[in-house]
Amino acid sequence: MTNLQDLYTTCGQSPWLDNLRRDWIENGELAAWIERGVRGITSNPSIFQKAMTGQAVYDDQFKELIASGASAEDIFWDMAVTDIESATALLRPLYDESEGLDGFVSIEVAPSLARDTAGTITSAMDLHARIAEPNLYVKIPGTAEGIPAIREVIGAGKSVNVTLLFSLARYGEVIEAYLSGLEAHAGPLDAISSVASFFVSRVDAEIDKRLDAIGTPEALALRGKAAVANAQLAYELFLERFSGERWDALVARGAKVQRPLWASTSTKNPSYPKTLYVDTLIAPNTVNTMPEATLEAFDAEGTVARTADADLPGARRVLAELATVGIDMDDVTAQLEDEGVAAFEKSFDELISSLQAKASDLASDG
């Protein structure tokens, strides 16, 4: 048994792959990851940018779409949908075997919609209609404007991956959107699924910079501790909110918990252990989506043990000490949300520009 398989079997955490490439679909690499224990796939605009601009495997479809007169943005969506459909087919047996727990593939609404509630709802519903597979997650950013969109799409019976979560307060709003969306849905709830993607390493990357700037021994002693503590307290909130009479009434209708999904779990600081954001965040009913290097590292040297709620008082102490030395978590998480939205929008814009340039090159060659 691999460490990745053991992670799920022993601790109830699902390891997912945070990457999607057409060559991996076609050459068996993705199937090999599933054999090793990967139970789902996430994608985002940055991942598609790297895949589509760096691989010739997209060229045949690209040329066909250019010949049809499609715009660069339409070409992107057509190529992305093709990849997502292929990946959902590959993971459908796992979805069926797990009774809808795993086997999901995620695609994100256009990043430009992050502050547009109505546009997000329309796009999410369109993607679900276009890729009519039960193991599809449409990613909706957990911005203030995304909250009502999450509620509406869940209420319509569609599955959602809530992305770009950094703050505990916003996470609480996301849980409420999921619960109220389930309550608004008229039919059975067993086919509706959701994960809430809590970003981890970016929190340390930002807070460590601020701690370095403060420079006191007390501040420097807190480097590399904020992200894990923040995520562990998110897990505590998950345990609290998915219990009690309100939740029991939804379970009676077939509801599934909205699992926390730990994202951005590769270490940005090379001095930190490669598996820092995996080893410390293991618990039942969670997902950890990892790039292949982190998956490899955990499979080789990770520790399989329940850790996410092993020391919640210690996590609270870390956040209290951060406040004492002058770290404003609300300011940090607001900045990270803005930067995350901007980064995904930049990747998307660069991808569209590169596809336009490629189309122009083909036209001049012809």
Residue 363 has pLDDT above 70, yes or no: no
Name residue 350's amino acid.
E
pLDDT at 361: 74
DSSP 56: G
The answer to whether residues 7 and 37 touch, using CB atoms and an 8 Å cutoff, is yes
The answer to whether residues 25 and 87 touch, using CB atoms and an 8 Å cutoff, is yes
- The Cα 89–Cα 96 span in angstroms is 11
Residues 186-222: pLDDT tens digits? Answer: 999 999 999 999 999 999 999 999 999 999 999 999 9
- Give catalytic status of residue 63 as yes or no: no
| Residue 53: count of CB within 10 angstroms of its CB | 15
Tell me the domain boundaries of the chain.
3-365
Q: How much of the chain is helix, strand and coil, in % rounded to 5? A: 60, 10, 30
Q: Which of 50, 63, 139, 274 is catalytic?
A: 139
Write the CATH number of the domain with boundaries 3-365. 3.20.20.70
Strand 13-17 vs strand 286-290: parallel, antiparallel, or unpaired? parallel
Residues 156-172: pLDDT tens digits? Answer: 999 999 999 999 999 99
Stretch 132-138: mean pLDDT = 98
The answer to whether residues 218 and 321 touch, using CB atoms and an 8 Å cutoff, is yes
The answer to whether residues 233 and 319 touch, using CB atoms and an 8 Å cutoff, is yes
Residues 309-324: pLDDT tens digits? Answer: 999 999 999 999 999 9
Instruction: Select from 265, 247, 254 the least CA-distant residue to 175.
Output: 247
Q: Using CA of residue 122, residue 291, residue 352, residue 343, what is the dihedral sign?
A: positive
Q: For all residues of the chain together, what is the average pLDDT?
A: 95
Stretch 137-157: mean pLDDT = 98
Stretch 15-20: mean pLDDT = 96
pLDDT tier, 364 (very low <50, low <70, confident <90, very high otherwise) = low
Lowest mean pLDDT among 66-80, 242-256, 285-299: 66-80
